[in-house]
A and B are shown apart, each in its own frame.
Chain A
Amino acid sequence: MTAEIGHFALVLALFVAVAQASLPLIGAHRGDPGWMALAKPTAILQFALVAVAFACLTHVFVTSDFSVVNVVSNSHTDKPLLYKISGVWGNHEGSLLLWVLILAIFGAAVAVFGANLPPALKARVLSIQAMIAVGFYLFMLLTSNPFDRIFPPPLNGRGLNPLLQDPGLAIHPPMLYLGYVGFSMAFSFAIAALIEGRVDAAWARWVRPWTLAAWCFLTGGIALGSWWAYYELGWGGWWFWDPVENASFMPWLAGTALLHSSTVVEKRDTLKGWTILLAIITFSLSLLGTFLVRSGVLTSVHAFATDPTRGVFILALLVIVIGGSLALFAWRGPKLVSTGLFQPVSREGGLLFNNLVMATACAAVLLGTLYPLLLDAPGGGKVSVGPPFFNTVLIPLMIPMIAAMAVGPFLSWKRSDLMPALRRLRIALVLTIVAAIVTYAVHGDEPVLGVVALAMAVWLGTGVLTELAERIRLFRSPLSESFRRLGRLPRASWGMTIGHLGLAITIAGMAGAGAWKVESIQVMKPGDKVTVGGYEYRFTGAKAGKGPNYKFVGGQFTVSRHGREITKLTSEKRVYNVSQQPTTEAGIHTTWRGDLYAVIGDAEGSGGAFVTRLYFNPLVVWIWAGTLIMVFAGALSLTDRRHRVGAPHRKSSAVSLPGAQEA
C-alpha cells in the first residue's frame, strides 16, 4: 500500500508541477497578479507531494518490503538501519527521487523566503524550476519508477554494494545533489532574467546566496567523496580523475567561476551576458553529471543501446534543457547591456582571469571525460583518457591562476597597476622562495612539481594574509585601530580571505600527499617490523571475527617512532555475506605532518603471515581540512548582512514591473 501511495503522490506532483510551470509564467507575461501568485502555493504543494513519495520509499526500505523491486535489488534484512535508509538513494530510481525532492525543497524555499523578490521574477523563477521538475517526474514515471512491484516477492533482497555501506558515502550523494540542484536556482534566475531582458546588481544579489549555498554543498560533497575513496579503497589515493569524479568536478569549476563573475555583475554592472551563460553552463553540467553517473553510459556507450528508452529520454531532456536555454541566450543575451567599463589590469580583470582559467579547465575536463564516448559512439575506436592526460592539461592551467589569486585582491576596481600590488607582496614572495629552497633541500631533486605546488600554496597563503594585514593597516596604525578594522570587515570579505586560505591549505596537502607519499608492500609474520617514512610498524597478528552482515580478518599494527609507541592501527579485510565482495578498512592515524596508513591483504601461507601495505601520506589531511575551511568560508559569506538586511531593492523596480502592487 505504501508503495502505491508514493507512486500516486508522484503522479500528483507531476500535475502540480505542470500547473506551476505554466500558469505563473503566463501570469507574468500578461501582468496578471492572481496567476503569478499561484507560483507560491503550487511550489509548496509540489514539495509536500514529493516529500510524501520520498517518505513512502524510505518506509518500504526501512521495513524491507520485498514486493518492491527497488528494495529487492538494493537492500537486505541484515543491513544496519543507516544503510537501509541510504539504500533509498544508493540506486538509479531512488537517487532521481532524491534529486527531485531537493529541487522541490529549493522551490518551496524560494516561495516561502522570497518575499523580497519582484512578483514577476519570482513567478518566472518558480515556473522554470517546475519545468525542470516536470522533466524529472516524466523520466521517473515513464522509465524509472522506484515503486515498481514484483510478484512473487523474494524472501530477501540482494543487498547494497558493500563499498557503499559506509557512513561517509551514506551522506555523500545528498550533499552532492544539494550542490547540483542548488545550481538550478542560478539557472532559473538566469532564464527568468533572459525573459525579462534585465540583469542588474539586485538580480546578482538575489542569485548569490543560492549559488553560494550550492557551491558549499558541492564542495563538501566532493571532499566527502574523495575522503571516502582515501580511507575505503585501501591505498591512500584521494583523486582518480574517474569520470564519476569529473562529473562532479565540472559543475564545481563552472560554479566557482559563476560565483566570481556574479560579484562583477553586482559591483560593476558588467560581464552580464557571460554570467548568465555561466549559470546556464553550470546547471547543464550538473544535469550531465547526474545522468553520466546514473545512466551507465560511462561504462560503455553500449549501455545506452541495451536500455534505449532511458538513454533516449536522457538525451532528449539534455537537448531540451541545454539547447533550449542556449537558444534563448543567443536570442535574448545581446539585449543585456553592460555599463561598467574596466581595464584588463583591475579587480574585474583578475576575476575575469579566474573565469577564463576555470572555464578552460572545465572544458578540458569535459573533453577528456567524454572523448572516449564521442570517439567510440560512431565507431572511431577505443581510447583511454586517464590521470596522466588530466594532470598534463590541468596543472599548467592552475599554476598561473593560483599565482594571480594572490595578486587579484590587491587590484582596485576599474583600473589598477600591477607594480604597487607586487611591491606589497614582496614579503610573500620572499617566503615563497624560502619555502621552495627548503623543500628542495630536504627532498633533493624529488618531483619538481611537488616543490612548485608547495611553493604555490605558500605564495597563496602568505598573499592572502598580506592582503588581510593591508586591509586592517596592521603595523601601520596602532594595534587597537587594526583590531577595530578587523572587527568591521564585512563577512563577505572574510569569506573571500578564509576561502582562499582554505584553498592554499588544500594545495599544500595535494603537494605533500601527491609528491612524497611513502609506500611499502611486503609479507609480514606476526612480530615483523618495517620502517616507513621514519615510523616503525610492528605487525602483531590478525584475528577473524563477524560484523552485522559481514565476516572480517583484522590485522593489528603497533607504530612507534624513535622507540616510543605512537599508536595501534587495525585494518580489516571484510567479506560481505550477500555479495561475497571483499572490501578493506584501512587503519589510519592522522597527524598534521601526515597520515600513518596500514592495510592488510591476503594471508600468505599458514604461519599467520599476511601481505601488508604500509604508507606514510604526508600532509594528506590538509586536503580535507582546506576544503572544510572553504565550505565554512562560503557559509560565512552567506551570512553577510547584505543578504539579510536591506534586502536588495531594484532601482525603480517598484514601478517598472507590472503587478508590483501585490508586493
Chain B
Amino acid sequence: MRHIAVSLLLVAFPQAAFGVNPSEMLSDPALELRAREISKELRCVVCQNQSIDESDATLARDLRVLVRERLAAGDDDQGVIDYVVSRYGDFVLLRPPVKGATLALWGGPIAIVLFALIAVFVFFRRQRQTAKAPIAATPLNEQERQRLQDLLAEKEH
C-alpha cells in the first residue's frame, strides 16, 4: 500500500522534460513551427499532464514523429489533429472538444459569470430597497444600557 503511495508521489511531480530532439525535426522551419504548435495541444497519454512537445516518453516521441509525417504529407493543422484523435480518442486533446460530456466544462465558466452578474444585480436592487426603508435602530441590551448610564453619570461628575 505504502509503495503505491510513494510511487504515486513520484509521478505526481513533473519529470524533467527533454521533449523534441534534433533528429525528429523537419528541415522546413515553417513546417517545424506548425508541428511545435500542434504538439502543444496534444497530450502525452501515458504522462502526467504533459503535452507531447514537453515529454520525453517514447509514446510522445512517436506522436511527434507522426505529427510531422502528416504535416510533410500535406495535411493542414486541423487535419493532423483529427488524424491523431481518430487513433487515440478525445483524451489526447489538451483542449477538450465541446460536446455532450464537456458541456458543463465549457459552459461552466459562462454560467458562473452570468450567475455572478445576476447576484450583483440582485444585491444592488435589494440595497436600494433597504435604503428606502427607514433604518431600525438596534436597541441596546441590558449591559449596554447599564454602561451608557455609568458613562453619563461619570460625565456629570
Contacts and interface: CB of A to CB of B under 8 A. Distances in A.
Interface of A: 69, 73-74, 91-92, 158, 161, 163-164, 229, 232-235, 237, 240, 242-244, 293, 296, 298-299, 303, 306-307, 339, 341-342, 344, 352, 356, 359-360, 363-364, 367-368, 371, 375, 380-389, 392-393, 397, 521-523, 582-584, 601-602, 604, 611, 652, 654-656
A523 B120 contact: no
A611 B22 contact: yes
A393 B105 CA distance: 11
Main secondary structure of the interface of B (DSSP, over half): helix
Given A234-B18, A584-B16, A299 B48 contact: yes
Interface string B48-61: 11010010000000
B20 A73 contact: no
A389 B9 contact: no
A367 B109 contact: yes
Interface in B89-128: 89-96, 101-102, 104-105, 108-109, 112-113, 116, 120, 124, 127
Contacts of B124: 344
Given A306-B4, A339-B135, A389 B94 contact: yes
A601 B43 contact: no
B6 interface: yes
Contact of B6 (A73, A601, A611): A73
6 contacts: A235-B17, A237-B17, A384-B96, A386-B41, A521-B20, A655-B147
B101 A364 contact: no
Contacts of A380: 101
Interface in B1-45: 1-6, 8-22, 25, 40-41, 43
Contact of A298 (B12, B116, B131, B135): B12
A123 to B, nearest CB: 19
A596 to B, nearest CB: 19
A286 to B, nearest CB: 18
A380 B20 CA distance: 33
Contact of B43 (A386, A584, A655): A386
B144 interface: yes
A341 B127 contact: yes
Interface in B133-150: 135, 141, 143-144, 146-147
B4 A363 contact: no
Given A91-B9, A306-B4, A383 B16 contact: no
Interface of B: 1-6, 8-22, 25, 40-41, 43, 48-49, 51, 54, 89-96, 101-102, 104-105, 108-109, 112-113, 116, 120, 124, 127, 130-131, 135, 141, 143-144, 146-147
Contact of B94 (A235, A375, A386, A522): A386
Contacts of B8: 296, 299, 303
Contact of B130 (A158, A341, A393): A341
Given A386-B49, A655-B144, A163 B19 contact: no
Nearest to A599: B18
Nearest to A242: B49
Contacts of A69: 2
A659 B3 CA distance: 53
A352 B144 CA distance: 34
Nearest to A162: B16
B16 A234 contact: yes
Contacts of A604: 22
Nearest to A658: B143
Leading 10 A-B pairs by shortest Cβ distance: A386-B94, A296-B8, A388-B95, A655-B147, A364-B109, A655-B143, A382-B91, A367-B108, A384-B43, A363-B112
Contacts of B12: 244, 293, 296, 298-299
Contacts of A298: 12
B13 A161 contact: yes
B94 A296 contact: no
B133 to A, nearest CB: 11
B94 A163 contact: no
A601 B21 contact: yes
Nearest to B53: A235
B15 A163 contact: yes
A611 B24 CA distance: 12
Contacts of B9: 91-92, 161, 296
Contacts of B113: 360
Chain A CB within 10 Å, residue with most, of B1, B5, B104, B127: B5
Contacts of B18: 234, 584, 601-602
Given A233-B17, A234-B16, A360 B109 contact: yes
A142 B116 CA distance: 41
Contact of A387 (B2, B94, B147): B94
Contacts of B116: 356, 359-360
Given A363-B112, A388-B94, A388-B95, A161 B10 contact: yes
B112 A364 contact: yes
B105 A392 contact: no
Given A242-B49, A364-B109, 17 more contacts: A158-B6, A161-B9, A235-B19, A299-B11, A299-B12, A303-B8, A307-B1, A341-B127, A360-B116, A367-B109, A382-B91, A383-B101, A386-B94, A521-B21, A521-B25, A655-B147, A656-B143
B109 A164 contact: no
A69 B9 CA distance: 16
A163 B11 CA distance: 11
Contacts of B104: 367, 371
Contact of B141 (A164, A296, A389, A656): A656
A151 B94 CA distance: 46
Contact of B101 (A163, A235, A244, A381): A381
Contacts of A368: 105
A307 B5 contact: yes
Contact of B16 (A233, A344, A381, A393): A233
Contacts of B105: 367-368, 371, 383, 385, 389
Contacts of A73: 2-3, 6
Contacts of B96: 383-385, 389
Nearest to A74: B6
